[in-house]
Amino acid sequence: MKRSLLLFTMITLAFLLLLGCSSNEDDSNNESSDGGSEEQIEISFSWWGDTGRHEKYNEIIDLFEEAHPTIKVDRQFGGWGDYWDRLTTQVSGGNAPDVVSMHQFYVSDYARRGALHVLNDKVESGELDLSDYPEAALDSGKVGDDIVMVAKGITMPGFVYNTAVFDELGVDYPQSDWTWDDFVDKAYEIKEAIGEDGWAIEDGSGGQLQPLFRYFARQHGQDLFTEEGKLGFEEQVLTDWWTMWDQMRQDGVIPDAATSNEYDGLPLEANMFATKKVALLGLPANQMYLYEEQMAEGEINIVRDPHIDGGPNGEYIEGAYLSITEASPHKEAAAEFIEFFVSNEEAVKIFKTEQGPPAGTEASNTVIEELTPPEKRAVEYIQTTVDLSEPAPYAPEGVNELETLFSDNAEAIAFGQKSVEQAVADFMNEAKSILGE
Amino acid sequence: MGKFKLFWKNNGIGYLFLTPWLIGILTLTAIPMGASLYFSFTSYDMFNAPTWVGLDNYLSLFSDAKWLQSVKVTLIYVLLGVPFQLAFALFIAVILNKGIGGLRVYRAVYYVPSLFGGSVAIAILWRQIFGGNGLVNNILGKFGFEGINWISTPDTALYTLIILMIWQFGASMVIFLAGLKQVPVELYESAKIDGAGSLKQFFQITLPLITPVVFFNLVMGIIGAFQAFTPAYIVSGGTGGPLNSTLFYTLYLYQKGFTQFAMGYASAMAWILLIVIAFATAIVFATSKKWVYYQG
């Protein structure tokens, strides 16, 4: 008797559980029939970042919810790597957040597949007021003629160094206007000074296609891609690139392949630069202050990525963006949220230069007064280099596959499995077939 | 009474009780499987409607060097990992079965790694242990050997994952222990009287009598190993590196589907995996008549 009672209870519970699940679904269905502004609605917002950023964004969202009592914001956040995997899954599953953080490199994969809401109407009507955005900042959120994302912050990459580390090594600081030859010379100089304890710089041959290799291609008057979404650079550029790094690797100026692999993806406080295993680091300027906080002594300064003597600039505008997904049932509320995020005075003061200084002129002016010295240095650097930047074509569909192909082949050289010539040939062939050439 | 009524009277309650499970298997297993079978014949980027491409996905697999690499990695993992794990689990189970003191404690301790299973924490721990400055190299250093970055070297990375799998022998060990308890003590006693040593006892009595348990563990082990994902994903940061040396089949499938938007291709991979697992299991079942001994 007891036994059957137990069984009965369990089955009842199981049924209740099922009912519970289905009634949840009902709730969300109700929500999607939005409309009445009095009604309580919920939008979701996702971003990538570290703990510090999560705290800031949560604060901004709290402010927004206070100002808009009828809108609740569901928060989804995590690290950069997982972010993109999760977003793909969510978009394909039809449950993507209403507002998503976007990035130039990935935006076309989503925009060209119709997953992002085109904001032109909302911007023209002033529903999403971006009137004080500089033309270039607004344009950087376009794919073709469509505005598909709004800049949270604009940033520029460069090489950072810690003055204390350089002083200790007795090496002169790098000059902002340096060429790749200067760069290589400096790397050998650092290695000489640092001895067995470290290297000049992390292996920059592979990893992501941009910014470093992209700058290199642009400085040759080419680019990663053409406007038509084909491969935009010649074999020689890639050969030069990998040869330069391979030589430094063989001379022990940069770490060997296994060491690089071991440090791959470690958090900031454990990476090669923070632990002084390397003296130079390629970094988006907005993150400079994090290293200054972490490393305690010395100033973190930044110089431009090296260039080619007499060649064109590599710079193009980079940043972090907000988009509204096409499937979102709450596009109005989502637009309100984005506008609040990028222009509300209190929100902007919390954001400061978290992902680069705000793109809007007024917001950017508000922020400047609130900055710590390393943040100020970053903003000055960004403002100077943005002026040097030229537009860049968007990545075509399949860019994810290209990135993997690029890092696979760079790694094969590093581990001595392929010669530079072989890796270049393999990359060019497969890249062309991925891009349908 | 009509046939249906009779059927209902006899089985109705049973099906009623099964309902939650039936709903589960339909919505969570059967329908998704059907969808994936369909997608495997299409080009599908998960945003736009799938377009029919027939067998293209299946055919292009065989000219995909990375796919072949993932097959190789997974086969090595299964063929080395499963037998070693079983042998190790059996070895420990036999020792524990000797009735040593504190059996319960040992049983729990050895089982713990399996509880953590494919967990993220363990994989991260593994990265530390086999890293350049990790535990393994520290111990080697004490004996005057110079270690390498085990996890970051293409030649050794996969083997550290196989060791990780062997280390998680607890689940099969507990099942072995249960099996060992079923072997009648009288058999050992009479063997002893006949002068059989412990090795002989093991191979003549223990092993034959627990072959059903070996069989069960083998089948479960093979199925599990083919589907391994988490360790490689975490240890290599999702890349299957260094140099694709830990590119497990499921990891490559995941990359194709969720980072390269090639869900049709990934679905085709999934179905090939299903067929291979079914085939491997069938082989074990087919040969089992020859080596599995059921008492009575």
Model pLDDT, residue A32:
42
Record the pTM: 0.83
Residue-level pLDDT at A15 = 53
Rounded distance between C-alpha atoms, residue A253 and residue A245, angstroms: 9
Res A262: pLDDT: 85
Amino acid B235: pLDDT: 82
The pair of structure tokens assigned to A404 is: 């993997």
Task: Give the list of residues 6+ apart from residue A3 with CB closer than 8 angstroms, or none.
Answer: none
**Secondary-structure percent of chain B, ordered helix, strand, coil, rounded to 5:** 75, 0, 25
- With bands split at pLDDT 50, 70 and 90, how would you rate the model's confidence at A24? very low
Class of domain A41-155+317-385: alpha beta
Quick check: A169 and A194 in contact, CB under 8 A?
Answer: yes
pLDDT tens profile A336-395: 999 999 999 999 999 998 999 998 888 988 888 889 898 999 999 998 898 888 888 888
The pLDDT confidence band at residue A35, using thresholds 50, 70 and 90, is very low
The distance from CA A46 to its chain's CA centroid, rounded to whole angstroms, is: 14
Region A140-156 average pLDDT: 91
Give the number of A-B residue pairs with CB atoms closer than 8 Å.
Answer: 77
Residue of chain B nearest A415, judged by CA positions: B243
In the prediction, which pLDDT does A348 show?
93
Contact predicate A358/A152, CB 8 Å: yes
Strand partners, A158: A283
| Cα of B169 to nearest chain A Cα, Å | 27
The residue among A398 and A214 whose pLDDT is bigger is A214
- The residues facing A358 across adjacent strands are A153
Residues 87-126 of B with CB under 8 A from A: none
B162-189 per-position pLDDT tens digit: 998 898 888 889 899 889 988 888 888 8
Answer yes or no: do B243 and A417 touch at CB < 8 A. yes
pLDDT at A8: 55
CB contact under 8 A, A415 and B237: no
| Residue numbers in A near B132 (CB within 8 A) | 258-259, 262
Chain A residues with CB-CB distance to B152 below 8 A:
257-262
Mean pLDDT computed over B209-233: 91
Each domain of chain A, given as residue ranges in start order, spans: 41-155+317-385, 157-316+393-434
* CA neighbor of A62 nearest in space, from A80, A79, A45: A45
pLDDT band at B143 (very low <50, low <70, confident <90, very high): confident
Indicate yes or no: CB of B46 within 8 angstroms of CB of A91: yes
Tell me which DSSP letter residue A274 carries: T
Tell me what the mean pLDDT of segment A272-288 comes to: 93
What ipTM score was computed for the predicted complex, to two decimals? 0.80
The distance of A11 to chain B (nearest Cα, Å) reads 7
Asked if B243 is an interface residue toward chain A (Cβ–Cβ < 8 A), one would say yes
Given a cut of 70, is residue A36 above it in pLDDT?
Answer: no
Q: Does B260 touch chain A (CB under 8 A)?
A: yes
- The distance of A399 to chain B (nearest Cα, Å) reads 8
Per mean pLDDT, which of A74-78, B3-7, B202-206, B256-260 is the most reliable?
A74-78
Contacts of A32 (CB under 8 A, 6+ apart): A329
Q: Convert A286-297 into a string of H (helix), E (strand) and C (coil).
A: HHHHHHHHHHCC
B132 touches A: beta carbon within 8 Å: yes
- The structure tokens listed for A308 are 């080619």
CATH 3.40.190.10 fits A157-316+393-434, yes or no: yes
CB contact under 8 A, A113 and B45: yes
Q: Is the pLDDT of residue B32 over 50?
A: yes
Note whether B46 contacts A92, CB cutoff 8 Å. yes
pLDDT at B296 over 60: no
Model confidence at A305, pLDDT cuts 50, 70, 90, reads very high
pLDDT class for A268, splitting at 50, 70, 90?
confident
Q: Per residue in A221-261, pLDDT tens?
A: 999 999 888 999 999 999 999 999 999 999 999 999 989 98
Q: Give Cβ neighbours of residue B248 (< 8 Å, ≥ 6 apart).
A: B70, B73, B74, B77, B228, B229, B232, B240
Higher per-residue pLDDT: A433 or B110: A433
Q: Closest Cα partner for B258 from B78, B102, B45?
A: B45
CB-nearest partner of B242 from A89, A261, A398: A261
pLDDT confidence tier of residue A21, bands split at 50, 70 and 90: very low
In 3D, which of B232, B84, B70 has the Cα closest to residue B160?
Answer: B232
* pLDDT higher than threshold 60 for residue A13: no
List residues in chain A touching B: CB distance below 8 A: 11, 14-15, 18, 81, 84-85, 88-89, 91-92, 109-110, 113-115, 257-262, 264-265, 397-398, 400-401, 404, 407-408, 411-412, 415, 417
| Contact check, Cβ <8 Å, A18/B255 | no
Q: Which of A273-287, B144-158, B205-219 comes out lowest in average pLDDT?
A: B144-158
Residue among B23, B153, B242 whose CB faces A411 most closely = B242
Q: What is the pLDDT of residue A11?
A: 55
Here the tokens at position A11 are 């089955």
Angle between helices B103-116 and B170-182 (to 10 degrees): 140
How many angstroms away from the CA of A345 is the closest CA of chain B?
37
Say which residue the tokens 């939005």 belong to.
Answer: A34
* B243 with A258: Cβ contact below 8 A: no
Mean pLDDT value of segment A272-292 = 92
**β partners of residue A74:** A44
pLDDT tens track for A101-140: 999 888 888 888 889 999 999 999 989 999 888 888 888 8
**Model confidence at A17: pLDDT above 90:** no
Q: Cβ neighbours of residue A196 under 8 Å, at least 6 residues apart?
A: none
Strand order in the sheet with A278-284: A199-201, A278-284, A157-162, A300-303
Provide the token pair at A119.
């904001």
Tokens 């090669």, located at residue? A272
Query: Is B133 in a helix, a strand, or coil?
Result: coil
More confident residue, A399 or A277: A277
Residues A137, A153: Cα–Cα separation, whole Å: 9
Given this model, what pLDDT does residue B237 score? Answer: 78
When the pLDDT of each residue in chain A is averaged and rounded to a whole number, the result is 87
Q: How confident is the model at residue A69 (pLDDT cuts 50, 70, 90)?
A: very high
Q: Which has more pLDDT, A144 or A148?
A: A148
Mean pLDDT over A309-314 rounds to 90
How far does B158 lie from chain A, in Å, by closest CA?
14
Burial class (CB in 10 A: 0-12, 13-18, 19+), B44: buried
